[in-house]
Structure 1
Amino acid sequence: MKDFFISYTGNDRTWAEWIAWVLEEAQYSVVIQAWDFRVGGNFVLDMHKAIEANRTIAVLSTLYLEKPFPQSEWAAAFAQDPTSANRKLLPVRVENCQPPGLLGQIVYVDVFNCDEVEAQQRLLAAVKDGRMKPDQRPSFPGKPVQREVPEHVPFPGQSNPGQSNPGQSVPAQAPAPKAAIGANTPQPVPVGLTASQKRRLQQKLDALQPELDLRAEKLQQLRKSLAIMVDPATKFQLEKQIQAEEAQLAVLENELDAIEAALAG
């Protein structure tokens, strides 16, 4: 018995074959009309045998939902598992469409409006049994607390040799070339960022933080996809993507650290 039967309409054959290829590449067994229904065979018997697969993947599109024959295919899987306790029916949307009626009550996965690596990762995660817990700890959603360190701290034990009382202390002197700070000398006011500069830096920080979070999430998903990939060529491509994302992530982190340091200064 096969792991999956791919139910699709003729217009979505390319999507169906891509899904079948990804699943077989991940060591699942698949039956699909384009590859397994041969000339001279009995279509009805072949279809009867195909729907006996452990699970049915319905390739959802607007045309799929309109055609009569695909409805009988997903309905056969639904009848075997009406409460979805065994996830016999797995809807996979390949375009923006809304499944009606009973089919609309089953959670689907989208493999469109994303690149191929992400689509493959979504598909393999959807067919995997068990919880969807990631392999690595999620990134901390909060912001790190920056230490506030003053530019200069006067030495509290320095004494004033001009005083009659040797134990009396005076304010510490600033390092050269600054003038000494005495009792009658006003404290210098450090020149910092203007309000306009701080506002622009904060806006840039707010814009970069979501990008950093997205790249960190994408890097995590790429690593997860690499862990389950068996095809050497695809693994090589994933490793290259991971290296590029790590480099971009490091650049963003350095830029954010510099902005936060400037705002805290």
Structure 2
Amino acid sequence: MQFQGQIIKMSSFDAQPIQYYLNLSGDLIHMNELIGKQISIKHTGFMCVSCGMDKPIFRMGFCKSCFFESPYASDTIIKPELSTAHLGIAERDLEVEKGIQLQPHTVYLSYTGDVKVGVTRNSQIPTRWIDQGATFALPIARTENRYEAGMIEVALKEHLADKTNWRKMLQDEYEGEIDLADFQQKVKEYFPEEFKQFYSEDETLWKFDYPYTKPEKIISFTLDKRPEFEGKLVGIKGQYLSFEGGSFMNVRSHEGYIISLGIA
């Protein structure tokens, strides 16, 4: 069986275990059904997620020019504290930025091998947590826009990590329960005074079950350095495909790549 198309990050469905679908130019391939099967991947080109041109992907699925021009790749995507749409000030395209920034956001704690703090639009719950490979997640603040959430995150990341260590995430198979509520109580005092009104208690702790068992070793590869790959798919966690022998491919970091996918 053969498929070909542009990679977009895997879609997921929160189930026991989480169900994953690889998006190749709109064709959704149920990856859970491929676990245990031999898969071949061949990189054949690029298609920028913005302009659609066959130009090398620079970052986040964008070619270099689009990465520095598109409002969907602006600094506020990575650093929400830089948001200015609530002030009516454009960064690249005010109407697009209003759509992203002027909606409810959640500040959360998650466990991805370590406890970290993060920000997500409410509409991205629980997708954001699944994409980062979180075992547990707990909302700790509910804000009205992206700027407010970003300012809370800035204060809390002085005391907690704000990035996922992908290797720790893939190495971890925690069987107990991390007490994120205890972490929430400890960081409550670090909320900026003007944003304490957004602090949220009595939230539900989210738990996630992945179709994944950690291997003895972890070796990640990219299609830039290894344009042709073949191996048995043995698991999925976050946006990582796990192959027999400990090889891993981060699907999200390959958005915009054109591939040929073969299934034995």
TM-score normalised according to structure 2 size:
0.20
Larger helix proportion of the pair? 1
Structure number with the higher strand fraction is 2
Structure with larger Rg: 1
- TM (norm. structure 1) is 0.20
